[in-house]
Amino acid sequence: MEFRWLARKELEKLKQIDRKELVEEVYYVRDHELRLVREFYDIDGWLESELGLYLQRLQSVFDGEGVIIGAFDNNVLVGIVSLEGYLIHGKTMKLDMLYVSHDYRKQGLGRRLVDIATQEATELGASELYISATPVRNTVDFYMRLGAELAMPPDAYLFELEPLDIHLILPI
């Protein structure tokens, strides 16, 4: 596995990540607590419109001097992590994106990417990561195992952008 910063021209490799996932449970925040609800989604991959929005986000992170690191297996992008290039409240960096291809999940790749992002954030002066996580149980449980906690209160601006996400803080 090769880990490296992505060049702007490589951002389109995001589509190489196999986003397939069978979701059976999602979280909602109710009364300042996580509540698990049974919901079923069969995510087959990227929707073209969605992929375009994520590529725009990556380009914005890149242009804003953020951090974008890819995990490559035989020159195929199988994981990606990105950090916004600025501090929130002088101590927090936003973990903007983390994706790991379906066949590479539960093998420590996501943790390795977060570790790399954490090291970069620390070098840039951050003491915590802000995570706006999709409410899928596997995703939220992953971040909680790393030590993330509910952001109480969530950042108002980031919450407004993604009100259905689970907003977390990960001390680093």
- For the segment 4-31, the average pLDDT, to the nearest whole number, is 96
Q: Report whether pLDDT(89) > 90.
A: no
- Full-model pTM: 0.94
Q: Given this model, what pLDDT does residue 73 score? A: 97
Tens of pLDDT, residue by residue over 104-154, are 999 999 999 999 999 999 999 999 999 999 999 999 999 999 999 999 999
- φ, ψ at 6 (rounded to 5°): -90, 145
Q: Which domain holds residue 33?
A: 2-171
Q: Which of 10, 14, 59, 34 is nearest to 139 (CA)?
A: 34
Instruction: Count the domains in the chain.
Output: 1
CATH number of the domain bearing residue 57: 3.40.630.30
Q: Given this model, what pLDDT does residue 162 score? A: 94
Written as one letter, the residue type at 127 is S
* Percentage of the chain modeled with pLDDT above 70: 100
Peptide bond into 153 cis (omega under 30): yes
Q: Report whether pLDDT(49) > 90.
A: no
Tens of pLDDT, residue by residue over 61-76, are 999 999 999 999 999 9
Q: What angle do CA 96, 99, 103 make, to 5 degrees?
A: 175
Q: Given this model, what pLDDT does residue 158 score? A: 93
